[in-house]
Amino acid sequence: MQAAAPVAEVGVIGGSGFYSFLDDAREVEVQTPYGAPSDRIVVAELAGRTVAFVPRHGADHRHPPHGIPYRANLWALRSLGVRQVVAPCAVGGLQPELGPGTLVVPDQLVDRTSGRVQTFHEDGAVHVSFADPYCPRGRAVALSEAQQAGWSPVDGGTLVVIEGPRFSTRAESQWYSRQGWSLVGMTGHPEAVLARELALCYTTVALVTDLDAGVESAEAVTQAEVFRVFQQNTARLRTLLADVVAALPVDQEACSCAHALDGIDVALPLP
């Protein structure tokens, strides 16, 4: 459903502890075939770009990871004109060198969720390429801007997405670590694949808030600790995201993400 609202070029989906982003923003209510998004979307000018922001869990963190209206969020952003999405998230580190405060721009994803609807296409054979789940141009911009801002970002790594809302057992965490995976989170999927089905550029910027329970002598993960570390870095992360938004390429059609549906018979009309 096409919303009569200001057109936005870039979308930002805020994660745990990241419930606001834009100043002097206008609230935009968008209806979708998949219900309402997590919260009202706000639109504002930022660094010469028109940006739409939605808090993934809602402004009051009312949506648990398995209850986030992922389809509504992505559909609403695209209906506003968004074609590039930046998605910060809080994650656990699965390797000893990825401790709290580390910034990672992952390049791979492993899905360990269950029961989540992860497609817009209920009828017909619509098989999108997902070998490389994140936008290559968005990743390059995020890494470059992070380096210029004084971070020491980690280029690449695998984010394993678990169902939640519970944290991993030590045995699960050790298993993920032995696979060589880098990060564990609860919200990166199906968000990434839904973005691909809408031919959106999608880039995750992951902030490590803790070492997962099974990594060496790490303590059990607590929600309070996750929120504390994320809040310590919120201002710095907000500045970085503004820099990334400003530096994203203007011509999204030149990116491979924009052509994810080329050659596929898609019966669902995209917004």
24 as an active site residue: the answer is: no
User: Of these residues, 60, 107, 123, 212, which one is catalytic?
Assistant: 212
Three-state DSSP state, 123? coil
> What's the chain's length in residues?
271
Domain ranges for the chain, please list them.
10-259
pTM: 0.92
Low-confidence ranges of the chain (pLDDT < 50): 1-3, 5
> Quick check: 57 and 63 in contact, CB under 8 A?
yes
Residue 17 pLDDT: 55
Predicted confidence at residue 150, as pLDDT, reads 95
Which pLDDT score is estimated for 3? 42
| pLDDT score recorded for residue 212 | 86
Question: How far is the CA of 115 from the CAs of 38, 112, 164, in angstroms?
Answer: 19, 10, 11
Burial of 98 from C-beta contacts in 10 A (0-12 / 13-18 / 19+): buried
Q: Tell me if 73 sits within 8 A of 56, measured CB to CB.
A: yes
The top-level CATH class assigned to 10-259 is: alpha beta
- pLDDT the model gives residue 5: 45
Instruction: State yes or no: is 212 an active-site residue.
Output: yes
Q: What is the pLDDT of residues 212-253, one digit of tens each?
A: 877 776 666 677 777 777 677 778 888 999 999 999 998 888
Which residue among the candidates 210, 243, 262, 265 is catalytic per the annotation?
210
